[in-house]
Structure 1
Amino acid sequence: MIKTLIFTLLFMSPLVTSASDFFSLSALKAADKKPLSPLQYVKATDDLLLAYRPYFPQQAQAVLIFLHGGGAHSGLSYNHIGVGLRDDFNIAVYMPDIRGHGSSEGARGDAPNKEQVWADINTIVQQARRRYPQQPIFVGGHSSGAGLALNYSSWQQRAEIDGYVFLAPYFGYKSETNHDDDKSERVGFSSVKTVKFILNTVSFGLLAGHDKAVIFHFPEQVLKNNPEIVTFNTVNMANALTPSSPDSQLADIGQFGLWIGAQDEAFDAVKVTAFAQEHAGKDRNEIKMLQDENHFSIILSGAKYIGPWLVRSR
């Protein structure tokens, strides 16, 4: 059991040609500027303040709660999705900063336990339900935010959700959707302190939960320009974001939409789409590989793919 755990954890993080290549943000830098919605706050179940950015149309057809990727926050280009869905499709969008990220409170990159991170999504859903009592609510995310959404979908205490949105999704090491390149010639975007996960597992969650376990290798210039970026996840946070059984979790979802760029640097787009098609449990899903998009450019164009599917699926 321990040997299997060690092997799988060693390969749980995406590997890319280099950190600088992975963070080639030319598309984001050249993009038209979009207004960034001001932050609002709501109390979590443990009284911590969660920050979120709302994008509300005059007549909402549906609601999407959209979660950012690893180490990021709602202010990093995700407003392109919020503005696009609001203005072009009349979709109300809530974009939270995951606890310990961005302007949300909490120890950076950490959580009391994985369930608390999922409970935070319930808090945002309740906030949305109060404003939009009659509209369908969807949950989704980009990269590891999509992994968080998938984990939430199988949590027994989740709110009632009408569907899920996965953009360039991280489905976890068990999905085997990383690139196949020679690992000896590749530089990891992130590294994993395997022993921390083992210690947490064998102690039944009593030890190492708050220890730094996944380290993100952001380029120095990126960190200088974006000081709110979090450079690590603790064991607890990583467990909240990493799907535990992605095959059965996908199969149990009523409906979902998935889009990934063929040029995605983090995950193998062919493997991701094949995995989703194999394990999709319903016919009401949309799974598409987009030829000219990569891991970050898809944030700019995401609204035009997500919007029509949400309108059809509401």
Structure 2
Amino acid sequence: MHIIKTLLFIGLTGATIYLATGLALTLLSPLAEDDAPPATGLFNGLRSPDTPPPPLSLYPTRDGSALHYRAYPAEGGADRVLVLIHGSGSHGAYLAPLARAVAGAGLAHVYTPDLRGHGTAPARRGDVDYIGQLEDDLDDFLARLRLEHPNATLLLGGHSSGGGLVIRHAGGRPEIKADGYLLLAPYLHHKAPTHRADAGWARPNVPRLIGLSLLNRVGITAFNDRPVIRFNMPRTVRDGTETLTYSYRLLVSLHPRDDYAADLAALNAPTLVLVGKNDQTFQADAYAAVFQDAAPEAEVRLLPDVGHLDLVAAPAALTAVKTWLNRF
């Protein structure tokens, strides 16, 4: 009996320490403030295009809210639909150069949704209601497009963290499956070889992330609205529509799971991965090996003289995307 009591005491003590550690890291770790910003040139790709993007439209979601998207109808009609998901801190407007190039060539109808928590006037900027809500929203949007284009090939693409969401969606339980994937310098995972610790502009609160991860493992989600990352975007490129902090539940919802290789393996449709050789955010040279191991059927291409944000407008990227679309 004494041994049993001792074991129970040790177990309870361990659980208490575990919870106390998680709470301390969550509640006592301040989020980083702006410091010396990275070079403004990195963000040139986020500047408003010379020609304004199409007006925003709304689509309904399963929770009764409505989210924004932009539509680029293909000239002359098309039997393909391409959905492009934007990256961290911004919204779908900066994808206009790629969307216009594809739609203008008559290759696909292109749609660029603004993710929940992002855009011009979200209900709660930088937050969602629960982990996985972005996948549910994406399913709702894809279901709508299936109704509008019942016979079209449905292709799902994303840039940076948007590419991460595409990978996460494929690796989950998607209600609507894509017929192909276009990944533009996708975020994979902070433990992936593609991660770059010196990216500079994304400043995660690592202690808080660890604390919230510990709490979530034991079912405590009450603190998942806490901000865990700050995007250090130069003020000269801001226009008031940026999303400069993310809650834990938004950040987790946006990226592949810890077993990111399993999510990558779920890309069981034709997949094109484009990365600029001069990418300032991720390790460009590491993508080929990661995909070869986890998703060997994917085609990975590195584009010379192209960076992270200008990838969506680079002539070489536009040409590669058009060539890929012609295969469907």
Task: Verify same fold: TM over 0.5.
Answer: yes
**SS state at 2:275 partner:** strand
* Contact persistence 1:258–1:288 (CA under 8 A): yes
Q: Which residue of 2 aligns with 1:215?
A: 230
**How is 1:140-289 mapped onto 2 (pairs within 5 angstroms)?**
140-179=157-196, 187-199=200-212, 200-223=215-238, 226-244=239-257, 245-254=259-268, 255-282=270-297, 285-289=298-302
Q: Which residue of 2 aligns with 1:139?
A: 156
Provide structure 2 residue ranges, at least 5 long, that are not aligned to the other structure: 1-17, 23-35
Note the C-alpha offset of 1:219: 1.4
* 1:188–1:103 CA distance, 2 compared to 1 (3 A): closer
Residues 172-206 of structure 1, C-alpha deviation per residue, up to 9 Å, x if partnerless? 113231237xx6xx745322243245234244252
Of 292, 296, 303 in structure 2, the residue corresponding to residue 290 of structure 1 is: 303
The 2-side partners of 1:196 and 1:177 are apart by 20
**SS state at 2:132 partner:** helix
* Contact persistence 1:175–1:247 (CA under 8 A): no
Note the C-alpha offset of 1:246: 2.0
**SS state at 1:72 partner:** coil
Note the C-alpha offset of 1:279: 1.8
Residues 3-61 of structure 1, C-alpha deviation per residue, up to 9 Å, x if partnerless? xx9xxxxxxxxxxxx742265345676x9734511111011111111100001113113
The 2-side partners of 1:22 and 1:276 are apart by 31
Note the C-alpha offset of 1:104: 6.2
Of 30, 49, 70 in structure 1, the residue corresponding to residue 88 of structure 2 is: 70
Answering whether residue 113 of structure 2 is matched by residue 100 of structure 1, we say no
Aligned length: 288
The 2-side partners of 1:32 and 1:113 are apart by 33
Provide structure 1 residue ranges, at least 5 long, that are not aligned to the other structure: 6-17
Note the C-alpha offset of 1:308: 1.7
Larger radius of gyration: 2
Q: Which residue of 1 aligns with 2:73?
A: 56
* 1:39–1:227 CA distance, 2 compared to 1 (3 A): same
The 2-side partners of 1:106 and 1:131 are apart by 27
Of 33, 37, 40 in structure 1, the residue corresponding to residue 57 of structure 2 is: 40
* 1:206–1:27 CA distance, 2 compared to 1 (3 A): closer
Note the C-alpha offset of 1:137: 0.6
**SS state at 2:261 partner:** helix
* 1:45–1:116 CA distance, 2 compared to 1 (3 A): same
Q: Which residue of 1 aligns with 2:26?
A: none
* Contact persistence 1:265–1:295 (CA under 8 A): yes
More divergent stretch after superposition (79-88 vs 299-308): 299-308
* Contact persistence 1:147–1:170 (CA under 8 A): yes
Answering whether residue 123 of structure 2 is matched by residue 123 of structure 1, we say no
* 1:121–1:27 CA distance, 2 compared to 1 (3 A): closer
Answering whether residue 321 of structure 2 is matched by residue 306 of structure 1, we say yes
* Contact persistence 1:69–1:144 (CA under 8 A): yes
* Contact persistence 1:117–1:240 (CA under 8 A): yes
TM-score, scaled to structure 2: 0.81
